[in-house]
Amino acid sequence: MSPQPSLPSWVTWWQRPFPDANTLLLPGRQPALVDSGFVGHAEETADWARAHAGDVHLVVNTHWHSDHVGGNALLQARGAGIAAGAPEAEAISLRDPGCCAAEYLDQPVAPYTVDVPLDDGQILRLGEADWEVIRTPGHTPGHLALWQPEERLLVVGDALSDYDVGWVNLALDGLDAATTALASLKRMAELSPRVLLPSHGPVPADPGAAFATALRRARRLVDDPDGAVWYGARRIFAFALMIRGGVLADEVEPYLHARAWLTDAARLLDRTPQALAAELTATMLRSGAVVLRDGRLHAAAEHAPVAPESLRVPYPRAWPAAEAY
């Protein structure tokens, strides 16, 4: 097995288990943090960043899903600015009810605002180096990557990992979302990065091989829309089990029936929500992706526990106006 590529001394990398995204810290006179984990671990994120670099000056989000923005509110309350892709920044500022897909996915996000909208080609000073913003829509419309050309470092968010590609939401983002994600992967691959920094899993030992695998997987999502819908449903359901410490077996299907994402997936797959909920649960049990233990269904993938009280934050439709910050 090839060794992982070396990181510069001015990069601090924290590989985290679900439900948190990996976190990149760039110390310096104005320390910056890329992605802030899940809301249930916001204190842990903030304490880690302060211990390694002092007060965070700026948080940059690769996109707005709950495992990437969960520490934003706490860090912003402590003085950090928040930067995010322009489409998502605008929706956050307007308090669009669809912000972060939080209500849609039933993934809690504490209210925050965006101070710095980011667009393609913008240069950001993060820590002691300049980084270029690369728009990479697909996983979400506002998804972005960060490119450091001197060291050839590429922060890829959820676009790919050492073992996977990001799921795409064909219901919310359109049937061409998978094609858009594939085009973003091709654009990133053309940079020929020396180091890939993904939001989940380890730093790939061979960036070229990681891209080759990701491009094949992304092409399959384009060629098989039904498979793409199933892939997203499995990922969303597993995450729901992770952040809730599992769900009682007799409450799983009622929980799923109430979810907007499942209703949309059922429509795209030409099933009823009830039929899809039963099939999703059965197939994930058979595959070992979820396990039945002590009367509860649990996600089988490694994940950190979440305190139930930390999930009690309002959906974006009930967030205070952005002007209140």
Q: For the chain, how many structural domains are there in total?
A: 2
pLDDT value at residue 1: 56
Report the alpha-carbon distance of residue 15 to residue 248 in Å, rounded.
30
- pTM tops 0.95, yes or no: yes
Are residue 149 and residue 21 in the same domain, yes or no? Answer: yes
Sign of CA dihedral 153, 158, 159, 161: positive
Tell whether 319 is covered by a domain.
no
Tell whether 65 is covered by a domain.
yes
Within 8 A by CB and 6+ apart from 288, the residues are 300
Buried b (16+ CB within 10 A) or exposed e, 297-317: bbbbeebbebeeebeebebbe
Domain encompassing residue 277: 225-311
Q: Which residues pair with 25 in a beta bridge?
A: 12, 33
Q: Are strands 144-148 and 81-85 parallel, antiparallel or unpaired?
A: unpaired
Are residue 285 and residue 193 in the same domain, yes or no? Answer: no
Q: What is the mean pLDDT of each run of 10 residues along the chain (325 residues)?
A: 83 98 97 98 98 98 98 98 97 97 98 98 97 98 98 98 95 97 98 98 97 98 98 98 98 98 98 98 98 98 98 97 67
Are residue 208 and residue 229 in the same domain, yes or no? Answer: no
CB 41 within 8 A of CB 23: no
